[in-house]
Amino acid sequence: MTFSRSSIKLLPSHIAFIMDGNRRWAKKKKVPVIEGHKMGSETIKKIVKKSLSLKIKYLTFFSFSTENWNRSKNEVFKLQNLLKFYLDSEIDNFIKNKINFSFIGDISRFEPSIRDKLIKLKDKTSLFNNLYFILALSYGSRTEIVEAINNIHKKKIKQITEKEITNHLMTKDIPDPDLVIRTSGEKRLSNFLLWQIAYSELYFTKTLWPEFTSSKYLLALKNYVKRKRRFGGD
- For residue 9, the model assigns a pLDDT of 85
The answer to whether the beta carbons of residues 34 and 78 sit under 8 Å apart is yes
Question: Are residues 15 and 55 in contact, defined by beta-carbon separation less than 8 angstroms?
Answer: no
Query: pLDDT value at position 233?
Result: 59
Contact 169, 144 (CB under 8 A): yes
Please name each of the domains of the chain with its CATH number.
5-141+177-226 (3.40.1180.10)
For the chain, first and last CA: distance in Å? Answer: 31
Q: Would you call 20 a catalytic residue per the annotation? A: yes
- Given the residues 20, 22, 100, 178, select the one marked as catalytic: 20
Give residues with Cβ within 8 angstroms of 35, minimum separation 6. 26, 29
Q: Which of 68, 97, 130, 151 is catalytic?
A: 68
pLDDT of residue 231: 64
Give the pLDDT confidence score for residue 100 in this predicted structure. 98
Question: What is the phi/psi pair of residue 196, to 5°?
Answer: -75, -25
Which residues are within 8 A (CB) of 33 and not within 5 positions of it... i.e. 6 or more apart? 22, 23, 26, 27, 75, 78
pTM confidence score: 0.94
68 is known as an active-site residue: yes
Which residues are registered as beta bridge partners of 100?
132
pLDDT (tens digit, 0 to 9) for every residue of the chain, 234 residues total? 667 777 788 999 999 999 999 999 999 999 999 999 999 999 999 999 999 999 999 999 999 999 999 998 999 999 999 999 999 999 999 999 999 999 999 999 999 999 999 999 999 999 999 999 999 999 999 999 999 999 999 999 889 999 999 999 999 999 999 999 999 999 999 999 999 999 999 999 999 999 999 999 999 999 999 988 776 655
Q: Which candidate, 124, 118, 120, 83, places its Cα nearest to that of 100?
A: 124
In order of 117, 127, 204, 227, 230, the CA distances from 106 in angstroms are 15, 23, 27, 35, 33
